[in-house]
């Protein structure tokens, strides 16, 4: 009996292994990493790996907020503009207003929370669909940036501010340490707390969640505020790293973040996703870009490759739901 059961157990294990959503991004990530390492030995160097992780951290920090929003059946297209706005507010306060660094950082975080609250208000109070509401604020926030700065970077920022983006602990960038901390916190909240379970329930079946007595509007509003704070943190780290507040910071970042989430197995239809998957998706995008450059392939091709990967990820998600080719 045991001889017959053993192959069946192995088969079930393999099926369960490949059913894990994160595997869809993890396997290509490993393949690309190995291929790039053979193509250019410098790719696998400690220095380059740390650079990859630091670049991934900016996508991942926002990706954590986007994971919660997508799991709750929402969407935020304005995160890139929020990143730029937080950085410009920070730079303007420190350079033009001579505000102490720590006060400017706190105000920038509140600005991010306010931007997220505005999105939440449009979506939960005015009942504007998330796509339309955040598309409007995407243009609105970016227009404010361009109007205030006239497209000119705010520089130089105070020397003591640079430590956030350029400093390190044990040779590892602060941005990476923050990514690790946020990974642990985000995973715990999504999987082990009522807040996380309510978000997944709301994304899976909003009507049943409301009937269960959960205030879905308050929950959605909170998600967009958290998203705004995380976008502001990314804007602060960006400004610190480059010692300037660039009005173009964050342009196109919303697409990278959404792509990282989808590639990592977060469902566009709500109710399914993980912080692990978003981390894998974030690293995947940076490794792909870095590997193509080191292989002397034009970085412009990355967009085409990522687009193809997103289509594949969405098709796989539809297959899992059984909605592909379904007729009304």
The three-point CA angle 75-80-83 to 5° equals 120
Please state, in angstroms and rounded to a whole number, the distance separating the CA atoms of residues 159 and 168.
Answer: 15
CA 116 → CA 19, 36, 75, 243, 244, distances in Å?
34, 39, 12, 25, 24
Distance between CA atoms of residues 69 and 227, nearest Å: 8
Distance from C-alpha of 58 to C-alpha of 233, rounded to nearest angstrom: 9
d(CA 168, CA 189): 27
Instruction: Note whether 22 and 274 are within 8 A (CB).
Output: yes
pLDDT at 27: 80
Residues of the chain with pLDDT under 70: 1-24, 299, 320-328
> Which of 80, 91, 56 minimizes the C-alpha distance to 253?
80
Q: What is the pLDDT of residue 155?
A: 86
**pLDDT score of 325:** 46
Structure tokens at 9: 């157990």
Give the pLDDT of residue 2. Answer: 53
Say what the pLDDT of residue 312 is. Answer: 77
pLDDT score recorded for residue 59: 95
Please name the residue that has the structure tokens 């509003």: 221
pTM of the model: 0.88
End-to-end CA distance of the chain: 46
| Predicted pLDDT at 17 | 45
What is the model's pLDDT at position 328?
Answer: 46
């Amino acid at each position: 009996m045991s001889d017959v059961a053993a192959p069946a157990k192995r088969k079930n294990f393999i099926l369960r292994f490949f059913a894990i959503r994160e595997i869809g991004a993890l396997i290509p990530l490993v393949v690309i990493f190995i291929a790039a390492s053979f193509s250019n030995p410098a790719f696998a160097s400690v220095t380059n790996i740390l650079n990859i992780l630091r670049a991934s951290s900016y996508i991942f920090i926002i990706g954590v907020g986007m994971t919660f929003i997508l799991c709750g059946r929402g969407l935020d297209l304005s995160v890139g503009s929020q990143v730029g706005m937080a950085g410009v507010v920070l730079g303007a306060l420190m350079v033009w207003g001579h505000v102490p660094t720590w006060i400017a950082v706190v105000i920038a975080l509140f600005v991010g929370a306010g931007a997220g609250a505005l999105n939440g208000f449009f979506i939960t109070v005015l009942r504007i669909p998330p796509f339309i509401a955040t598309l409007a604020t995407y243009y609105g926030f970016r227009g404010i940036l361009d109007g205030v700065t006239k497209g000119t970077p705010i520089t130089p920022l105070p020397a003591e501010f640079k430590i956030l983006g350029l400093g390190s602990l044990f040779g590892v960038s602060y941005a990476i340490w923050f990514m690790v901390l946020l990974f642990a916190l985000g995973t715990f909240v999504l999987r082990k707390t009522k807040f996380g379970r309510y978000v997944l329930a709301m994304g899976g079946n909003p009507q049943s969640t409301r009937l269960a007595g959960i205030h879905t509007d308050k929950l959605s509003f909170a998600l967009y505020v958290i998203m705004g704070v995380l976008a502001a943190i990314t804007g602060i780290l960006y400004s610190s790293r480059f010692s300037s507040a660039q009005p173009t910071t964050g342009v196109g970042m919303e697409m990278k973040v959404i792509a990282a989430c989808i590639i990592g197995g977060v469902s566009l239809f709500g109710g399914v996703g993980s912080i692990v998957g978003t981390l894998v998706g974030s690293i995947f995008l940076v490794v792909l870009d870095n590997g193509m450059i080191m292989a002397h392939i034009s970085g412009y091709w990355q967009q085409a490759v990522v687009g193809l990967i997103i289509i594949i990820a969405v098709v796989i998600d539809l297959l899992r739901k059984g909605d592909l080719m379904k007729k009304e």
